[in-house]
Structures are given as C-alpha cells and as structure tokens.
C-alpha cells in the first residue's frame, strides 16, 4: 500500500515525513489547508477526531499522534529505534515519550495560549512554559551528549527526527513575539544532532517538499512551501 500522509507545511507532519523518507516507504501527501482550518472540518475529523496534524493512513486504518505514528513505523519496519526485545528499548521509549508528552505539548501551549488560559494570564503562562522548555531541552541535551546508540548516533532514530522538529519551531514561532529565550546553540549536543540530520537525503527531500530552506533545523527560516501554509 502507498501510505497517505495528511500534512501541513512546517507542522508535526514533517517529523513523520522524515521517517517515511528515511525508511524509503511509498506514500503520497494530502494537504490539510490550515488557511481555511481544514483540520477542524468533519472530513478531517473522521480521520482524527482531535483535529490535529498529522494523520497517516495505513492498511489498518488512520493513525494519529506523532509519537504513536513513529513508534508504529519503528516496530513495523525497524531502523528507527531499538527492537522491542533490545535491552536499550526502555531508555529509547522513555525519552521518545518525554518529547511527545512533555516538550511537544508545552510548545503547543506556548504557541496557542488562548486555547488554554484566559487572555490576561497568557504572558505568565508563556514565561512559565519558556522556563519549563529550557529545562526540558537542557535535560535532553545531556542525554544526547552521552551518545547512546539510539540518539545522536550515525543512524538516526525516530527520536532524532522528533527532536529536530521541536527544536525548529521555537526559533520561529510565534512570529510576533520575543523568541530570544531559545537558541539551539545553547544545547550543543542537540545542535550536532540537527546538523547531522541536515546532511541526510530525507531532510533534503523535506526541504524541497515544504520549502524549509538550507538549514531547516540549525538556522531555520520561515517556510516557503509550494502549497499550503504553516499556520
């Protein structure tokens, strides 16, 4: 089967696109047009009732949640992390879920605070989230610096791809607010991880498909996609 990746440029779907291309899997894309909030419409909610991007259509039905899709691909095809019976599997999973359950939701709240709190408390929420994210990135940087086989190694894993995505967005979004709190070079092991990913064919394919520029992770610029919009 050719998989179908429901995506929007510079959304979490880019992480799944990296994994699909790295594995060499056949897939086609279906644009979720955020300019008209297509992710909230009934047609898309039949695939993902939560109205979030991405969705990956598979022979077993649609999958959503970025971490779940990555883990399913890893277990189905291998090559994206330790096998289920590998001794290092537990360590890999706990940090994959740390990114999925802690960093990614914190970024969503940072970008869209009005969905979570009253407007007059938004600044306090942003400040707290920035502090939390700095601690989280610093923790992840220390793990990457230890260079386990399943992170920041010669062969990228699903965790590497996920980290690259969450390290890209705080350098760009929200576009009308101060983003000086985040600098990737403050986390040198994560910077090396992202620089390595930028040399891979899957990243080059992503750059072309979504107009992400020459350094999409280490020095990101706003996307100039051939279709759709990031927000």
Q: Do domains 3-77 and 89-210 have the same CATH topology?
A: no
Which CATH code, of 1.20.210.10, 3.40.50.920, 2.30.30.140, 1.20.1050.10, is assigned to 89-210? 1.20.1050.10
Residue 44 is predicted with a pLDDT of: 98
Q: Burial, 89: exposed, middle or buried (Cβ in 10 Å; 0-12, 13-18, 19+)? A: middle
221 phi and psi, to 5 degrees? -125, 165
Q: Which residues of the chain have pLDDT under 70?
A: 1
178: left (phi over 0), alpha (psi -120 to 50) or beta: beta
Cβ neighbours of residue 93 under 8 Å, at least 6 residues apart?
71
Residue 4 is predicted with a pLDDT of: 98
What's the token pair of residue 104? 């990614």
Residue 214 is predicted with a pLDDT of: 96
Please give the full DSSP string across 107-146, using - where no structure is assigned. Answer: HHHHH-GGGTS-GGGHHHHHHHHHHHHHHHHHHHHHHHHT
Residue 181 is predicted with a pLDDT of: 95
Residue 175 is predicted with a pLDDT of: 86
Taken in order 220, 224, 226, 228, the sign of the CA dihedral is: positive
Burial 188-202 (b: 16+ CB within 10 A, else e): ebbbbbbebbbebeb
In this structure, which topology does domain 3-77 adopt according to CATH?
Answer: Glutaredoxin (3.40.30)
Residue 83 is predicted with a pLDDT of: 96
Q: Give the single-character DSSP code of 169.
A: G
pTM: 0.97
Residue 152 is predicted with a pLDDT of: 84
Residue 50 is predicted with a pLDDT of: 97
What's the token pair of residue 212? 């992400």
Per-domain residue ranges for the chain? 3-77, 89-210
Residue 206 is predicted with a pLDDT of: 98
């Amino acid at each position: 089967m050719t998989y179908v990746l429901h995506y929007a440029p510079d959304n979490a779907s880019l992480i799944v696109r990296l994994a699909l291309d790295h594995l060499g899997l056949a897939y086609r894309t279906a644009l979720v047009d955020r300019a008209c909030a297509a992710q909230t419409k009934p047609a898309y909610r039949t695939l993902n009732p939560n109205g979030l991007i991405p969705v990956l259509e598979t022979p077993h039905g649609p999958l959503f949640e970025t971490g779940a899709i990555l883990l399913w691909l890893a277990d189905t095809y291998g090559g994206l992390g330790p096998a289920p019976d590998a001794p290092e599997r537990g360590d890999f999973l706990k940090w994959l879920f740390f990114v999925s359950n802690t960093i990614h939701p914190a970024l969503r709240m940072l970008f869209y605070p009005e969905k979570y709190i009253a407007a007059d408390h938004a600044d306090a929420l942003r400040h707290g989230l920035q502090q939390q994210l700095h601690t989280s990135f610093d923790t992840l940087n220390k793990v990457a610096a230890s260079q386990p086989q399943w992170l920041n190694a010669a062969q990228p894993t699903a965790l590497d791809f996920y980290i690259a995505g969450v390290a890209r967005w705080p350098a760009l979004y929200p576009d009308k607010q101060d983003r000086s709190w985040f600098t990737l070079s403050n986390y040198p092991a994560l910077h090396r991880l992202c620089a390595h990913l930028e040399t891979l064919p899957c990243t080059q394919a992503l750059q072309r498909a979504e107009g992400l520029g020459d350094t999409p992770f280490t020095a990101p610029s706003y996307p100039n996609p051939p279709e759709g919009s990031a927000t």
